[in-house]
Chains A and B, each alone.
Chain A
Amino acid sequence: MLYSIRLRISYDYDSPADVGRHLLRIMPASIPGVQEVQEARLLCRPVPAEQLERVDFFGNTCTEIAYRTPLEETVFEMEARVERLPSEPGLDVSPPPERLAQQIAEVPSVAGHAPQSYLPVSPRVRQNAEIAAWAAGVVEGAETVLAQVMAVTRALHRDMAFDATATMVDTPLDEAFALRRGVCQDFTHIQICALRSLGIPAGYVSGFLRTLPPEGQERLEGADAMHAWVRAWCGKDMGWVEVDPTNDMPAGTDHVVIARGRDYFDVAPVKGSMRLAGGQRTSQAVDMEAV
């Protein structure tokens, strides 16, 4: 499926702000077997004094920009054409849960996509006893690692309500779980936390979701902004599997990946240092259409 994607993130400041330096992760990546980027371009307004592109530890494209004068507004626009390859609904070749630890131990690597980095706590996902207890309950009877992952995805969708007003970008996952409400970021962090408590390596994927569904299907939640979902390592034969807890579905041809990491900390679309005297407003618009 070929998509045309547009993203616009803007910041408005009450008084000219010393916005300084930013790190952007909003460019989609070519991932063999998953997606191919045919073209992608980034437009920053005003034009930054410095702009530098590089690839980070996890293989994501990041753009460093710097401004030298105080600004009243900054706008980041990304446009891309991305071919999302059809994903095979693979057979479940994941091991029984009790054999996963051994398979993890047999990967002697700490590289970006080796499972080891995705089990310990990460900056935004600490341990949470309630989530662990909840997860232990919902996977009862699941006989494989993949079955456990799907059970958690299903249960999260059942127990959590999508609510764009309940949380903010920096709301801790504990709070979102206590409320049982939140947006894709909260769903994703809670599931990562749940899976890690079960010994399943789990990470965060940021990306886009097609805006308008194919005829006769429902519009998906999270399509009007950047989206997030979960990846879980299901053993040496199955590898990484991506699931979307907000919509209770495997991430497939409706999903286009921007960045992957342990949690939001590793993939945040805009990181920046700024000195603000007054307030700021930010808005985000996403459009992803099948071509």
Chain B
Amino acid sequence: MREELLAIVERNSRIDLKELAVILGVEEIDVVNELAALEAEGIICGYHTMIDWEKTSIEKVSALIEVRVTPQRGQGFDNIAERIYKYPEVTSVYLISGGYDLLVTLEGKSLKEISGFVSDKLSTLDSVLSTATHFILKKYKDHGTILAKQYEDTREKVTP
């Protein structure tokens, strides 16, 4: 049940518990217990909402920043990653294989705010060797959800 449960709540965390039990073919109490266990084990780390900010009047700018760093003895990349992810405007930090080391995603109110963060805070960190900032112009798909289009059922209404 665990894998199927996770797959469902990953897409829709607001699903009614009773309905969840029905579609999984188990008792509601089992779903409640399993969710509690998954939370306690840190497997479910949070329940978020996907928002298409583009459709609001609120200005937001997001960027991807490639960061090359010098790893520290005994710490690898963990220390520097922590120094970066503690900034609240940083939405994610990944250690990446290939041409650079950390991929940092950032959300700010304006271009200026993001460039300020990069030049004042990120680049000035001792172990940061270089950064490359990419601003996101449009989100087509995010977290498995297509933002650009609405699903439309184009099938014939009755077929054998």
A and B: interacting chains: no
User: Could you list which residues of chain B lie within 8 angstroms of chain A, going by C-beta atoms?
Assistant: none
